[in-house]
Amino acid sequence: MAIINNLKKINSDIERVAESCGRDPKSISLLAVSKTKPIEMLLEAYKGGQRIFGENRVQEGEAKRPLLPADAKLHMIGHLQSNKVSKACHYFDCIQSVDSLKIARKINNKCSELDKVMDIFIDINISGESSKTGYCLGVDIIDEIKEISSMDNLNLLGLMAIGPNTGDRDLIKRKFKELRNFMILINKQTSLNLTELSIGMSGDYKEAIEAGSTMIRVGSSIFGTRG
Ligand SMILES: *Cc1c(COP(=O)(O)O)cnc(C)c1O
């Protein structure tokens, strides 16, 4: 029951925060981050209406995918190693953590073999924290993003980022807005029409929605803290 109540609370937060800043709540989706959590908890969330789940390890996605109902979607949100690309392409519906041309090429080649088009996001490091993966935000990466977007078996939807690790709410919101402005700049400088911003976790999804998030990735506020 706790999981279903947590989902209700977050979905009502999405509505409330979206309306408070003049956004359509339906333009924001909720990804339930189920890493380290047993399948029973995902199925409980599914019963509560949740359909998109996120994992940060390929092996965990591989184990859980066959146990999830067919209409549940699984997103890869953790750094992807080259030797795991093949499995990731099999078991995930979207890879949000594309952080190099090399990994994009590998996903594209594998999906070509599988006759599949993979939804992807580009992982951007907006905090400057070296512990985080992703491209450093800057105009110099636009050409590479354009090249990735041109690959036949990839469908580039937008950008993904993790907020800075700080209690400074204004700084968090400012960094999220920088990412949104960067997406607008990419669209202006290229013929791309990126629309998705995967930003906001348990601790900062309100700031993310205010800054333009279209997908929040929430783990501990749904499933409880991880051990
Ligand atoms: C773990 C994780 C989340 C969810 O974090 P919570 O603080 O538990 O909501 C979101 N995004 C990524 C990339 C993660 O690794």
Residue 1, pLDDT score: 65
C-beta 33 within 6 A of ligand 1: yes
Residue 227, pLDDT score: 80
Token digits for 199?
A: 């930003």
Q: How far is the CA of 65 from the centre of ligand 1 (A)?
A: 19
* pLDDT tens per residue across span 22-76: 999 999 999 999 999 999 999 999 999 999 999 999 999 999 999 999 999 999 9
Residue 195, pLDDT score: 98
Nearest ligand 1 atom to the CA of 33 is 4
Residues of the chain with pLDDT under 50: none
Residue 23, pLDDT score: 98
C-beta 161 within 6 A of ligand 1: no
Residue 165, pLDDT score: 94
C-beta 118 within 6 A of ligand 1: no
